[in-house]
Amino acid sequence: MAGPKPNILIIFVDDLGYEAVGAHGGLTYATPEIDTMASEGIIFSRAYTSPVCTPSRVSLHTGLYTSDHGWTNVLDVHYGTSTKVDFTSLNTFAQLARDEGYATSVTGKWQLATYVHHPTHLSDAGFDSWCFWQIWSGTKKTERYWDPYLNRDGSVLTGLEDKFGPDVLKDYVIEKMTEARDAGEPFLIVHNEMLPHSPIVKSPDDIAEGRSASLGNMIGYMDKLTGELLDAVESLGIRESTYVFFIGDNGTDTGASRQTMDGSVSDGKRDLTDGGTHVPFIVWGPSSIAKGTTSTDLVDITDMFPTICALAGISIPSEIPLRGRSIVPQLEGRRGAPRHWVHQGISNQESIFDGKWRLRSDGELRDARALPLEPIVSSPSSESNRAQDRLEYLFSFLRTDPDTVSPTTVIDNNAATGVTFTGTWQLSTNSSEHYGSNYHHDQNSGQGTKSVSYALNVPTTGLYEIFIRWPSDTNRATNCALTLTHKDGSLQTTVNQKINGGIWVSLGEFSFDAGTGVLSLSNESADGYVIADAVGFSIAGKEPDDGYVLWARSYFGSEIVDDPEQESTVWGADANPDGDLYANVVECGLGLDPTNGLETPAVEIRKLNGEPAFYSIVRSGTDYLNLTPKVSTDLSSGTWSNPTGQLEERQRNYLSPDYDEVYLVPPSSQPLEDQLFFRYDVRRN
């Protein structure tokens, strides 16, 4: 990014769902300051986090899903645990920003390590300075509100007996902004606003006005403090160089229903549903923001990492794994590369939400097409089955080691159909390696006669590679009996479940007629526990790591992608199911959604530093697509050629590991004399 680096202030609010904010359609609580912020900035109306603080905050700082970093429960800092989130092995955006000359600060709740055990933890996470609520004093849990136990840069503050903790933190944020401005340094401040988390206490305004404490009043005071921070940015004269993010960390913590313009919300914190994971997300600040607008693109909390780096002009080293996508294009009014699903996790469970359906890793599917209503699907339909298949594939994709071969279709032990248990099997309380779901075991280690059968139901007649997966342990059977029924007979063998846990084990290639195939496990004569976790299959010879096939399957599901009869009409490279004139391979290469008609062009003419430029989103670093820019002066046949000497790449902005923004402009030394037409040739290798 050219010019001085911008300031970044993140207001990360504790226990505030989207429905609590008026600008997001909330009707129960008054938030006039935040509503004004939204009217002067941009609202991202479909932003999601995990439903409790620790997993949400780890994903914020690292840009990783809970399935990557493993933190799905609240870290019990309030009991003085010595366990910590290890930021010496996890990368954070604050670490990168500090290395780039940012003054980095953090406030509020830090439920990622106990300070008395790990006094360098905040510094390890990338922060030069802090004023945070030290939850554990060394002997007991402390207070966050009145007479707060706040640690500033290594020392517990004194003289706060009559002080309200959120006020102290607000003053600290203003102080750090002022210091950075006066020093001519850019700042990055993560302000973990402690309100409106329980306990419900009287705010200073409640005391002044002689009223009772309530959640609504705590939200109101949080709203007031937010307004004071925005006023400080204005009065310091730094608004044009300061991006302010307002985000909830998870759903609202209350048993009461909250009203919105779309209906009633009853779920909240700890619920792996829309009410527990859908949070307010507003960006305010420079004139470059598309002010007074709303983006309906799905946003995941992991998107903050690449977004902050993009705003700060920080290059993200290729060895840092990231799940997020930069939303800088959207907040500046460009199309960007919208994601088509978001991910959340809590208590060894995960969910994937694609904007219409929500699937949990235990197999529960919810119909989210009429939010805030989100009923569990109890009577599956062809549409819900297709959604479940597609989302199960995404779970499997997230849990698969990219260096190993894996099936394209997965049948989990918790599947609603296609899995039959004979005898009494025990559902485990532990998470397996297969996308976080539980597994079944035969309960008494080989006693009795029990079996489990998976109906493969392959989509078309042909040759398939068959896989099986289990979590290994020392008590597993080394001789688990397995039978695979296929077109030419059956395979009867045993597998050693003490080894090869957490990977897909191939049983080989077999012929099947359409709609057939059964894989069965038995505990007969087993010398340990028999585990039923997941099986899967792929069309033999189809490359499972073909990026285009993976992309197509995430949109259309394996039932369609594995059916060659659907290739010409639905998922194939030349197919155009949404009727927008762009073939699927083009939409794969240019960051478009193949299931919705295109509303904006794939290649636009935009200004770059005052010059007209061809602007587009392109796949980066792929070996399965060939994207070739072409130009023509008159569109006549045979005139398309490489743009050498006529266009040059002037700017490329990182959006995600998969996509970049690209600007192509005429060379300054050779201005155009004729009109110029531009296109990309996108072909699957």
State the DSSP string of 603-668: EEEEEETTEEEEEEEEE-S-SSEEEEEEEESS--TT--B--TTT-EEEEEEE-SSSEEEEEEE--T
Per-residue pLDDT band at 500 (split at 50, 70, 90): confident
Per-residue pLDDT band at 445 (split at 50, 70, 90): low
Give the per-residue pLDDT at 433. 52
Q: What's the mean pLDDT in 645-668?
A: 92
Residue 1 has pLDDT above 80, yes or no: no
Give the H or E element holding residue 171: helix 165-183
Tokens 């779970």, residue located: 395
Mean pLDDT of the chain: 92
The reply to whether domains 7-353 and 404-539 share a CATH topology is: no
| CATH superfamily membership of 404-539 | Galactose-binding domain-like (2.60.120.260)
Question: Of 662, 664, 680, which is closest to residue 588 (Cα–Cα)?
Answer: 680
Give the per-residue pLDDT at 587. 94
Q: Cα–Cα distance between 341 and 297 in angstroms, integer?
A: 10
Residue 47 has pLDDT above 70, yes or no: yes
Give the H or E element holding residue 175: helix 165-183
Residue 436 has pLDDT above 50, yes or no: no
Q: Cα–Cα distance between 201 and 343 in angstroms, integer?
A: 33
pLDDT in tens, 198-218: 999 999 999 999 999 999 999
CB 55 within 8 A of CB 118: no
Q: Where do the structural domains in the chain lie, given as residue ranges?
A: 7-353, 404-539, 603-684
Residue 253 has pLDDT above 90, yes or no: yes
Q: Where are the alpha helices (DSSP H) in 408-524?
A: none
Question: Of 12, 17, 13, which is closest to residue 260 (Cα–Cα)?
Answer: 17
pLDDT in tens, 13-35: 999 999 999 999 999 999 999 99
CB 238 within 8 A of CB 253: no
Q: Where are the alpha helices (DSSP H) in 278-431?
A: 304-312, 328-331, 382-399
Which residues does 6 contact at the CB level (< 8 Å), separation at least 6? 186, 241, 242, 243, 286, 311, 312
Per-residue pLDDT band at 622 (split at 50, 70, 90): confident
Question: In CATH terms, is domain 7-353 a member of 3.40.50.300?
Answer: no
Q: What's the mean pLDDT in 427-452?
A: 70
% the chain with pLDDT above 90 = 74
* Per-residue burial over 534-562, b = 16 or more CB atoms within 10 Å of its CB, e = otherwise: bbbbbbeeeebebbbbbbbbbbbbbbbbb
Give the per-residue pLDDT at 197. 97
> Is 80 exposed, middle or buried, given 0-12, 13-18 or 19+ CB atoms closer than 10 A?
middle
Q: Cα–Cα distance between 523 and 215 in angstroms, integer?
A: 55
Give the H or E element holding residue 281: strand 281-284
